[in-house]
Structure 1
Amino acid sequence: MDTSRLLRTTGTVIAAAGLLLSGCTSGGPGQPRAAASSPAESATAPAQPSPDAAALRPYYEQKLTWRDCGVPGFQCSTMKAPLDYANPGSGQDVDIAVSRRTATGPGKRLGSLVVNPGGPGGSGIGYLQAYAGIGYPAAVRAQYDMVSFDPRGVERSSPVECLSGPAMDKYTQVDQTPDDPAERAELVEAFKEFAAACQKNSGRVLPHVSTVDAARDMDLLRALLGDDKLNYVGASYGTFLGATYADLFPDRVGRLVLDGAMDPTRPALELNRDQTEGFNTAFTAFAKDCAKQPDCPLGKGGPDAVEARLKEFFRKVDAQPVASGDPNRPLGEALATTGVIAALYDESAWPQLREALSSAMNGDGSSLLSLADSYYEREADGKYANLMFANAAVNCLDQPPAFSGPEAVDTALPSFEKASPVFGAGLAWAALNCTYWPVKATGKARELTAKGAAPIVVVGTTRDPATPYKWAKALAGQLASGTLLTYDGDGHTAYGRGSACIDTAINRYLLEGKAPQDGKKC
C-alpha cells in the first residue's frame, strides 16, 4: 500500500467508477528567462544553478511537428528538453511527449490551455485524451487549444522504470503495518529493492525529474505553442507544479487554476500526516453515509462503530487473506487498504466501495482488488503503468525523506494513528519509502509567492481526502496574487465535479480573465 503522497484526480484514479512553432526574439514568448538578479527573486528561486539562457535558446527555437495520435480529434508531438537544466546543450536530452486538441470554435481563440492531472506520475496525455479534451466545458474547448504533456519521467516522456509486473505484484502485497521484527525487516527490504530497481533501470533520469525540472519544461512548451503567457489548470499535485511555474516565471503567468491545492511549505513528514488526516475525514464522511444505506456492510451506528468494523476486517485479512480470483494475489491487508483508499477519492465511488467490502467480507476479494489495481494502474495482463515509479522518483527528489529509518516511524506512529485510527499506521510506514532512495533530494519545503504574477485561482474542497482544505488556504495566502475559491463538499478536487457554482466561477475566469472574489464559497 505505497500510497504516500500520491495526489491524483478522480479521472485517473477510479477508472472502474466511470471517470475517467515559432522561434524567439528578445523578450518574446520563446525567450528563456535569465537568472534572477534581484534579492526578492533570489529569495524564492530554487537552490540550484540558474540555466544559461544562450545554451537554452536552441530548445526554445525548435519546432513542434504535429501528427495524428490515433485518437480521433487529437494530435501529438515530441519536444526536446535538456536532461540537466544546469548543463543544457551537453548532448544529454529527454523527450517530452505532448498532445493537443485544437479549439473547436466558434469564438475568439484564447491560446492554449495546458492541463495536468496530478500524481506526481499521472499521464497528462492520458488525462487529456480520456477526459479533459472532451469533457471540459464546451465553451472552454471552443476557445482554447486543449494541451497536455507527460512530465519527464512519466509514461511517454523518458519514463522512470523500476520493477517488473510480477515483482510489482509482490511489492504491493507487502504488509505495511508490520507486527513483529520479521515483518519490519521485510518492509524495509521491499523499499530497498524498489529503490535499487529504479536506480538500475533509470539511473540516468532519476536526478532530473523534480517538479522544478517539469516546470521549466512547461515554460518551454508554452513558448513552442506560441503563447506569451501560460494558461493552465492543474489538479492535485498539478497545483504544486503550477505554483512552482508561477514562482519561477511570474511574468509569464496567464490564467492559472490550482484545484485541490498542495501547501509547498509543509515538509514531507507533515504532508504525509496531513494527508492521513484528510483520508480520515473522507472516511468519516463515507461512514456516515454508509450507515444510512441498507447495503452497508459495516453495519449501523456512528462513524466510530463503522471504523471499528473496518479495522476488524483489515485485521482478519491480515491474518488470513481472502480469495480474489487471482491465486497469486489474494486480498490481504495491504491490497484491501489500498482498494478502500482508492474509492475515498470520489464520493461517487462509495456504492462501489460498499459492494466491494460486502463481497470481501463474504470471501470474494475480487472487487476490492479491482479498486486497488485501478489505483496502481495495473492492467489485466499484469503490466503496470509507471505511475508508482514516477511518483516515488519525483517525491523523493522534491523533498528530503519524512523519516531517517524505522525507529523514526515508531516515534511518529502515535501522531499518525491519532490523525487516522484506520489508516494511520499504514500511511506512516508507507512514508518510509524515500529513506532508501538512491538520489539525494534537490528540493525542500518553501514558500512559493510568485510576486508579480497575474491573479491565480486556488480551489479547495472542505472534505478532500488527498489534499486537505487547509493546504488550499495556505497556498492562496502564500501566492502574492492568490485568490481562494472554496467548495463545501466531498471528494478530491472541485472543477467539473457537479458544482455549478464552482464551474461558473472557473469558466468565467478562464474565458473572461475575471477571477472570483477571494474567499468565495460554493
Structure 2
Amino acid sequence: MRTRAAVLCAVAAVVAGPFTVPPATAATRAPVQASPVTWKKCGTTDYPTLQCGSVKVPLDHRNPRGRQITLALSRVPHTAPASQGPLLVNPGGPGGSGLTLAGFVASTLPKKVAAQYDVIGFDPRGVGKSTPAIDCSPGYFEPVRPDSVPATPALEQANLKRVQSFAAACGKKYAKLLPHLDTFDAAQDLDSIRQALGARQVSYFGYSYGTYLGAVYAKLHPDRIHRLVLDSIVDPTGVWYDDNLSQDYAFNDRQRALMAWIAKYDSTYKLGTDPEKVEAKWYAMRAALAKKPAGGKVGASELEDTFIPGGYYNGYWPYLADAFSAYVNGRKTAALVEAYQNFAAVDASGDNGYSVYAAVQCRDSSWPRDWNQWRKDNWAAYAKAPFMVWNNAWYNASCAYWPTKALRPTDITSTELPPALLFQATDDAATPYQGGVTVHRLLAGSRLVVEQGGGNHGITLSGNTCLDGHLAAYLTDGTLPHGAGSVDAVCRKTPDPKPLTTKAASTSSRGSTLHGLLGFRG
C-alpha cells in the first residue's frame, strides 16, 4: 500500500465478493525439497552477529522443477539452550528488504526473548540482493516531475504518459518474471525458506504489507505456523485499489494532525496558532513550488513526497516543520531540499523497491482498466482529502496499464491457525484502523492490541512499553491478552515529539531505526 506501506489501490472496481486461493496451487503439488542454507558471517557495527545465506526457490511454484530463482536471507541465531525455531520478519512494501530487519528485531526484543529464536530476514522475490532483482525504469522518480494534481488536460496527459511508459518498460524487460511477482508466490517462498531451515514450523512477524504476506502464508499452511504477529494491518478485503483510496483520507487526517502540531508550537515555527491557517500556508507553499521548484529539485509533487513520510511516523514532524517554516518565513530552501533528499528521494535513487511494489500490487488483484474510473474516484476523494490523493493515484496508476493478468486475492479467513497477535494504531494512515478490525474477525482466536490515539505505522519495538510487553509475552510462551469486546488490550499512545532543541539538528539523524527499515508504502 501507499502503505509507498505505503501504496495500495478491470473496468470494474476490485472484486468485492469472496476471495479464493488459485485452484492449481503449489500446496497441492509435491514440492522440491529446498537445500539447507549455508550461513556466512556478515555482521555490521550495529548487528555484529548477523549471518547471511540464500535459498533457491521455483520461479513458478506450480512448476517446482522449472526455473529457479534465489532469495537472499539473513539470520541472528538463537543463543538459548532451547530454541523455539525460526522467526521470519518482513518490513512490508511490497518491495522492502528484510535483511537488516533481522538484526534490528533480534537486538530490540528483550534478550531473553530474542535468545529463543533464530531471527530470519529475507529479501522477497525480485527485491534487493535476491536474484533476479528488478528495476523497470531507472530514474523514474527523478525530479522535477509534473504536478500530481491534473488541473489541466496537459498535466493529466503528462502524468499518464509517465505511468504508461513505466508499465510498458516493465513488460518489455521482465515479461517472464512479472507473472510470478505476486503475494501468492511470495507466500509459497516462505514455505521454501522453512524447508531450507529444516523447521517443521516457523513463527512470523510482519509489518504493513508484511501483514498481508504473512496472513496469506498462514492461510496456505496453517499447520506450519508456531506464532503469528501482525503489526499495522492491511485490510485484505480492499487489496489494492480500495485500500489506496482509504489511505488517501487517512493520510489527509495525519497531515492535518501535523498542521495542528505546528500550530501548537507557534513560538518555534511562527506559522500561526490556527491549524487551518497553517494548512493554508502549506498549500500556498505547494503552489509556489509548482511554479519554481526549490533548489531545482522540490516541485509540488516532490513536496508531497517529502511530507508523506510524516504520515507514517511523527518523529519526522520536527524536521518537516523546520523546513516548512524556513521556506515560508524566509524563502530559505536548503532545509526543504535536505528534507526531500532524506525522506523522499529514496524513490529517485533506487527504483528496485518501487518496481517490485508495482509488480506485486498490479498482479495481486484487479484494477480498473478504464482511466475514466480512476479520474472519477480520485477527484471525488480529492474534494474531501486533497493532500495525497493524486500523488497516490499516479504512484499506482501503472496498474491500469499493467501487462499481466490479475489474480484473485486470497481469502485469509482461518479457523485452523493458532491464536495470532495483532497490533493496530487507531490513527494509522498507511493501514487504516479498519484493517486490524477486519483481520481480527477473519482469524479465529486472534487477539487485537490497540494503540489508542496513535498515528504511527509500525508500532511495536518503537519504545511503547505496553505494546512491547504484549509482544514479548506472546513470543515467550504464547501468552495473549483477552478483552471483553472487539479489542483485547488498549495501550496509551507514544507521546508526540517536541520541536528540535537546536536549529543545527540535521534531518540525516531523523527518526527511529525501525521506521528507516519499514518498507513504505506498505
TM-score (norm 2): 0.84
Find the partner of 2:287 among 299, 310, 315: 315
Quote the Cα distance in structure 2 between the aligned partners of 1:178 and 1:297.
31
For the Cα contact (< 8 Å) 2:251–2:387, is it kept in 1? no
Deviation (angstroms), 1:285: 2.1
Q: Partner residue of 1:7? A: 5
Task: Return closer, same or farther for 1:513/1:506 CA change in 2, 3 Å cut-off.
Answer: same
For the Cα contact (< 8 Å) 2:311–2:455, is it kept in 1? no
Query: Per-residue displacement from partner, 1:345-380 (whole Å, max 9, x unpaired)?
Result: 11111111111222343444444444444455639x
Q: Partner residue of 2:13? A: none
Q: Partner residue of 1:481? A: 445
Find the partner of 1:378 among 346, 354, 376: 346
Task: Return closer, same or farther for 1:51/1:413 CA change in 2, 3 Å cut-off.
Answer: closer
Quote the Cα distance in structure 2 between the aligned partners of 1:77 and 1:509.
28
Quote the Cα distance in structure 1 between the aligned partners of 2:192 and 2:388.
40
Q: Partner residue of 2:272? A: 300
For the Cα contact (< 8 Å) 1:112–1:146, is it kept in 2? yes
Letter in 2 for 1:68: K
Partner SS, residue 435 of structure 2: helix
For the Cα contact (< 8 Å) 1:250–1:451, is it kept in 2? no
Partner SS, residue 257 of structure 1: strand
Find the partner of 1:125 among 99, 102, 112: 99
Query: Which moved further from structure 2: 176-185 or 459-468?
Result: 176-185
Q: Partner residue of 1:198? A: 170
Deviation (angstroms), 1:456: 0.7
Quote the Cα distance in structure 2 between the aligned partners of 1:414 and 1:378.
28
Q: Which stretches in structure 1 are left out of the alignment for 5+ residues?
A: 10-42, 324-328
For the Cα contact (< 8 Å) 1:449–1:478, is it kept in 2? yes
Quote the Cα distance in structure 2 between the aligned partners of 1:511 and 1:337.
42
Quote the Cα distance in structure 2 between the aligned partners of 1:295 and 1:414.
37
Find the partner of 2:190 among 218, 222, 235: 218
Task: Return closer, same or farther for 1:196/1:368 CA change in 2, 3 Å cut-off.
Answer: farther
Deviation (angstroms), 1:450: 2.2
Quote the Cα distance in structure 2 between the aligned partners of 1:233 and 1:411.
38
1:105-504 map, 5 Å: 105=80, 108-129=82-103, 131-157=104-130, 158-165=132-139, 167-170=140-143, 173-294=145-266, 297=269, 299-323=271-295, 329-361=296-328, 362-375=330-343, 378=346, 383-384=349-350, 386-401=352-367, 403-444=368-409, 447-488=411-452, 489-504=454-469
Letter in 2 for 1:73: T
Quote the Cα distance in structure 1 between the aligned partners of 2:146 and 2:105.
35
Q: Which stretches in structure 2 are left out of the alignment for 5+ residues?
A: 8-17, 492-522
Quote the Cα distance in structure 2 between the aligned partners of 1:219 and 1:364.
52
Find the partner of 2:71 among 72, 80, 96: 96
RMSD: 2.4
Quote the Cα distance in structure 2 between the aligned partners of 1:422 and 1:74.
40
For the Cα contact (< 8 Å) 1:298–1:309, is it kept in 2? no
Deviation (angstroms), 1:414: 4.1
Letter in 1 for 2:307: V
Query: Per-residue displacement from partner, 1:158-201 (whole Å, max 9, x unpaired)?
Result: 21211223x5415x723221221111111111001112222233
For the Cα contact (< 8 Å) 1:66–1:77, is it kept in 2? yes
Letter in 2 for 1:101: V
Q: Percent identity?
A: 31
Which contiguous aligned blocks of 4+ residues in structure 1 show a shift greater than 6 angstroms? none
Task: Return closer, same or farther for 1:376/1:208 CA change in 2, 3 Å cut-off.
Answer: farther
Deviation (angstroms), 1:386: 1.2
**May I ask how many residue pairs the two structures share in their alignment?**
471
Query: Per-residue displacement from partner, 1:110-130 (whole Å, max 9, x unpaired)?
Result: 21111101111000113334x
Quote the Cα distance in structure 1 between the aligned partners of 2:43 and 2:178.
30
Partner SS, residue 135 of structure 2: coil
Partner SS, residue 31 of structure 2: helix
Quote the Cα distance in structure 1 between the aligned partners of 2:437 and 2:196.
33
Q: Partner residue of 2:54? A: 78
For the Cα contact (< 8 Å) 1:113–1:230, is it kept in 2? yes
Quote the Cα distance in structure 1 between the aligned partners of 2:91 and 2:336.
24
Larger RCO, structures 1/2 (Cα 8 Å, 6+ apart):
2
Query: Per-residue displacement from partner, 1:136-169 (whole Å, max 9, x unpaired)?
Result: 332322211111110001111121211223x541
Deviation (angstroms), 1:45: 4.7
1:3-82 map, 5 Å: 4-7=2-5, 45-51=20-26, 55-59=30-34, 62-69=35-42, 71=44, 72-82=48-58
Quote the Cα distance in structure 2 between the aligned partners of 1:93 and 1:126.
24
For the Cα contact (< 8 Å) 1:267–1:399, is it kept in 2? yes
Query: Per-residue displacement from partner, 1:198-242 (whole Å, max 9, x unpaired)?
Result: 223333221111111111111111222232222111001110011
Letter in 2 for 1:337: E
Quote the Cα distance in structure 1 between the aligned partners of 2:190 and 2:427.
30
Letter in 1 for 2:311: L
Letter in 2 for 1:386: N
Quote the Cα distance in structure 1 between the aligned partners of 2:404 and 2:335.
37
Quote the Cα distance in structure 2 between the aligned partners of 1:429 and 1:383.
18
Query: Which moved further from structure 2: 136-145 or 350-359?
Result: 136-145
Letter in 1 for 2:466: C
Letter in 1 for 2:378: L
Partner SS, residue 205 of structure 2: strand
For the Cα contact (< 8 Å) 1:397–1:442, is it kept in 2? yes
For the Cα contact (< 8 Å) 2:3–2:431, is it kept in 1? no
Query: Which moved further from structure 2: 195-204 or 154-163?
Result: 195-204
Task: Return closer, same or farther for 1:69/1:203 CA change in 2, 3 Å cut-off.
Answer: farther
Quote the Cα distance in structure 2 between the aligned partners of 1:454 and 1:97.
28
Deviation (angstroms), 1:305: 2.5
